[in-house]
């Protein structure tokens, strides 16, 4: 295993232990609103601290960008860790057992290592650039479905960017008539991991942040899938608008979505 992936896995499991302990006592969780429909808990912060501690022990000079604490600069600008300590906070606070830890390492702007860890199911999704992707210790690949009518597509509603609701619903409606079914589970990191593992065939969402998708992006690509923005280009880390899946599925979703995009989503 890549030495930095070893640290990422160790950090993800440490955060997972923090999350599982808290999940057993949900009545003690402190919830604070960061913005409209955007919440943070003391557990998010504690899990992020656990990840940062594990990374800093081995790589004290690396930069860490986390959802809760922003950029924690190190002396090295070449190595950047992008972390979401608890992707699916709304599920977590409601007692819905579907959330994950997401950790990605970038070197000179390219994602080299990715880990998504589901502490409830003890499922670990990992990837190293050029070395493939694994589910626990088994190689994983995207699904072999090519036609939309065979597919189950995952998505997330733009609940933090409701100005895109009308466009999103048009895309949703068009895809729903073409595919077999749609899932909306509440964790983009796990949605992307499930695409990589072939559990769902594709995924699309509007308005995500880099820490939501950095790890999942590499998982999908190393599992043989493709990732684009809504115009079929590769600006999804900047725009947060992402489509991922088996290659022909991704192309089909882009083809369906592109004519329906508002001016704001064509950028």
Percentage of the chain lying above the pLDDT 70 cut: 98
Residue 2: pLDDT band (50, 70, 90) is confident
Average pLDDT over residues 70-80: 87
Is residue 34 scored above 90 in pLDDT?
no
Is residue 33 scored above 60 in pLDDT?
yes
Which pLDDT belongs to residue 37? Answer: 65
What does the mean pLDDT of the chain come to?
A: 94
Is residue 74 scored above 90 in pLDDT?
no
pLDDT tens-digit map of 215-229: 999 999 999 999 999
Which pLDDT belongs to residue 32? Answer: 86
For residue 229, how far is the Cα from the chain centroid?
14
Which of 115 and 73 is assigned the larger pLDDT?
115
Residue 1: pLDDT band (50, 70, 90) is low
∠ CA(90), CA(67), CA(48), 5° rounding? 90
Provide the whole-model pTM: 0.96
Q: How far apart are CA 197 and CA 241, in angstroms?
A: 21
Average pLDDT over residues 248-257: 97
For residue 211, how far is the Cα from the chain centroid?
7
Average pLDDT over residues 236-251: 96
pLDDT tens-digit map of 258-267: 999 998 888 7
Per the listing, tokens 């499991």 go with 13
pLDDT tens-digit map of 81-93: 999 999 999 999 9
Is residue 36 scored above 70 in pLDDT?
no
Is residue 161 scored above 90 in pLDDT?
no
Which pLDDT belongs to residue 119? Answer: 98
Average pLDDT over residues 58-76: 88
Q: How far apart are CA 122 and CA 76, in angstroms?
A: 32
DSSP element (H, E) containing 127: strand 123-128
């Amino acid at each position: 295993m890549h030495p930095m992936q070893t640290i990422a896995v160790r950090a993800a499991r440490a955060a997972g232990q923090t999350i599982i302990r808290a999940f057993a006592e949900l009545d003690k969780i402190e919830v604070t609103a960061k913005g409209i429909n955007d919440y943070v808990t003391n557990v998010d912060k504690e899990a992020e601290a656990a990840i940062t501690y594990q990374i800093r022990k081995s790589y004290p000079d690396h930069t860490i960008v986390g959802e809760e604490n922003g950029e924690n600069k190190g002396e090295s600008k070449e190595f950047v860790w992008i972390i979401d300590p608890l992707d699916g906070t709304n599920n977590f606070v409601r007692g819905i057992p579907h959330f994950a830890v997401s950790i990605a390492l970038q070197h000179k702007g390219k994602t080299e290592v990715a880990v998504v860890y589901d502490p409830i199911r003890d499922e670990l999704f990992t990837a190293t650039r050029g070395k493939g992707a694994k589910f626990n210790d088994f190689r994983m690949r995207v699904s072999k479905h090519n036609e939309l009518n065979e597919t189950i597509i995952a998505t997330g509603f733009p609940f933090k960017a409701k100005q895109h609701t009308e466009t999103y619903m048009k895309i949703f409606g068009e895809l729903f008539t073409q595919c077999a079914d749609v899932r909306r589970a509440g964790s983009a990191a796990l949605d992307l991991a499930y695409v990589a593992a072939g559990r769902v065939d594709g995924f699309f969402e509007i308005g995500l942040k880099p820490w939501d998708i950095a790890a999942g992006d590499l998982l999908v690509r190393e599992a043989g899938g493709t990732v684009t923005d809504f115009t079929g280009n590769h600006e999804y880390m900047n725009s947060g608008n992402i489509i991922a899946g088996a290659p022909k599925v991704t192309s089909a979703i882009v083809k369906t979505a592109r004519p329906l995009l508002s001016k704001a989503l064509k950028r």
